């Protein structure tokens, strides 16, 4: 990519102007932010506003970023704060749909365990070889995004509130009006599903590399 | 009483949100000592958290190939 063509040998990443002059990078980034914000806020307009605000801030200050990942880290931090604020303000307005949908996800990990509560024979978590190197592989990130988007929407929303926005339990419970035990059950399911998906599609697959 | 894998995974998941009670920790340790799949699960939860944080910090953008 253009990174390798950059004249400066000392820069390991694209310089900030490349980041912002590359329309595809911005389009992709915006799309990713929008997907993330929409999932959290369940409201397209609010999501658009939050993304717009975070991006405008970044564009104003773009010279201070050392590369794309610095820029991206920064805009996502802003976006996370913006979403967290919106969610906190909104705690009184319950989305009744979410509660209904939650009920339908009741039995989704029964197939992982047998009647005595032990792992089904072919569902036992295996040892993951070299989990650290996955984050340097763009194919892995595609799998990760696919696994995330295959979670039931409520599980994905709550999982990302916890792990991505790093809200505490009580904040999530207030924002989506669920009990702590409900939250714990949801996170447990989301983690079971995600790890299964990652193992089935990445860590448990023989790769010739 | 011996914990089931379902119960053990639930406790491991919850330990990412709160400190477990001593009794929960003891029961979990005992289970993990004897259950390889749950030991794998335990490591994978930590990996999952690291991966998600890396994702939030622009992980996919840091790789170019």
Task: Kindly report, residue by residue over A132-172, the tens digit of the pLDDT.
Answer: 888 888 899 889 988 988 888 888 889 988 988 888 898 88
Other CB atoms closer than 10 Å to residue A130's CB: what's the count? 8
The answer to whether the CB atoms of A73 and B57 lie below 8 A apart is: yes
Give me the domains of chain A, ranges plus CATH numbers.
Answer: 1-90 (1.10.1740), 93-209 (1.10.10.10)
Residue A13 confidence class, pLDDT cut points 50, 70, 90: very low
- Output DSSP code: residue A80: H
pLDDT in tens, A44-53: 898 999 999 8
pLDDT in tens, B7-37: 999 999 999 999 999 999 999 999 999 999 9
Tally C-beta pairs within 8 A across A and B: 115
The answer to whether the CB atoms of B40 and A73 lie below 8 A apart is: no
The mean pLDDT of chain B is 89
The answer to whether the CB atoms of B56 and A134 lie below 8 A apart is: no
Spatial CB neighbours of B59, under 8 Å, sequence gap ≥ 6: A135, A141, B51
Kindly state whether B46 is in contact with chain A, defined as any CB-CB distance less than 8 angstroms: no
Kindly state whether B29 is in contact with chain A, defined as any CB-CB distance less than 8 angstroms: no
Other CB atoms closer than 10 Å to residue A7's CB: what's the count? 6
- Residues of A whose CB is below 8 A from B44: 125, 128, 131, 195, 198-199
């Amino acid at each position: 990519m253009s990174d390798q063509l950059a004249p400066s040998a000392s820069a390991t990443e694209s310089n900030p102007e490349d980041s912002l002059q590359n329309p595809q990078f911005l389009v992709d980034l915006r799309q990713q932010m929008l997907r993330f914000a929409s999932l959290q806020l369940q409201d397209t307009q609010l999501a658009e506003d939050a993304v717009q605000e975070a991006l405008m801030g970044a564009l104003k200050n773009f010279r201070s970023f050392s590369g794309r990942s610095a820029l991206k880290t920064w805009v996502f931090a802003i976006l996370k704060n913006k979403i967290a604020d919106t969610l906190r303000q909104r705690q009184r307005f319950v989305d009744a749909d979410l509660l209904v949908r939650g009920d339908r996800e009741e039995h989704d990990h029964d197939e992982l365990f047998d009647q005595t509560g032990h792992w089904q024979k072919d569902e036992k978590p295996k040892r993951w070889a070299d989990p650290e190197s996955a984050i340097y592989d763009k194919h892995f990130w595609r799998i990760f995004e696919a696994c995330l988007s295959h979670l039931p929407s409520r599980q994905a929303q709550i999982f990302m509130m916890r792990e991505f926005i790093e809200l505490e339990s009580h904040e999530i419970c207030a924002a989506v009006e669920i009990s702590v035990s409900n939250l714990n059950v949801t996170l447990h399911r989301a983690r079971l599903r995600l790890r299964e998906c990652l193992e089935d599609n990445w860590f448990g697959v023989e790769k010739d590399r | 009483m011996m914990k089931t894998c379902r119960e053990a995974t639930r406790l491991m998941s919850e330990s990412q949100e709160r400190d477990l009670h001593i009794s929960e920790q003891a029961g979990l340790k005992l289970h993990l000592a004897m259950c390889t799949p749950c030991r794998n699960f335990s490591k994978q939860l930590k990996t999952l958290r690291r991966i998600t944080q890396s994702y939030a910090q622009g992980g996919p953008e840091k790789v170019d190939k």
